[in-house]
Amino acid sequence: MNTWKVIFATIVIFGAGVVTGGLLVKYSVQTPPRPHGPANRAVQPISAGGIRIEFLRRVERDLNLSPDQREQIDKIISASQERSKKLMEPIQPKIRE
């Protein structure tokens, strides 16, 4: 009877090791992110204006913004982009190099 307990304990320990190893492999191997939409769609650079419009659409949809709220957010983002553009102008050529 004691022999069966040892065999059973060995099988349980082995099974736990197999399950743990499988989970480690599953969660440690990172798969590259898949692109959204059709795979044959050409990648186009997104302009700052395009990013702003897409953000406004998503926020308006998710938060149910009123037209006034959307306009205020658009003004804030536009002003921020203009400030960023002015800051980037002097260093943009160095970045491109």
Q: Where are the beta strands (DSSP E) in the chain?
A: none
Q: Are 50 and 17 in contact (CB under 8 A)?
A: no
**pLDDT tens, position by position, 62-93:** 888 888 888 888 888 888 888 888 888 888 88
Written as one letter, the residue type at 65 is L
Number of helices (H), then strands (E), in the chain: 4, 0
Question: Tokens 């709220």 label which residue?
Answer: 69
pLDDT in tens, 18-59: 888 887 777 776 666 666 555 555 555 566 667 778 888 888
- Is pTM beyond 0.75? Reply is no
User: How high is the pLDDT of residue 31?
Assistant: 60
CB 73 within 8 A of CB 65: yes
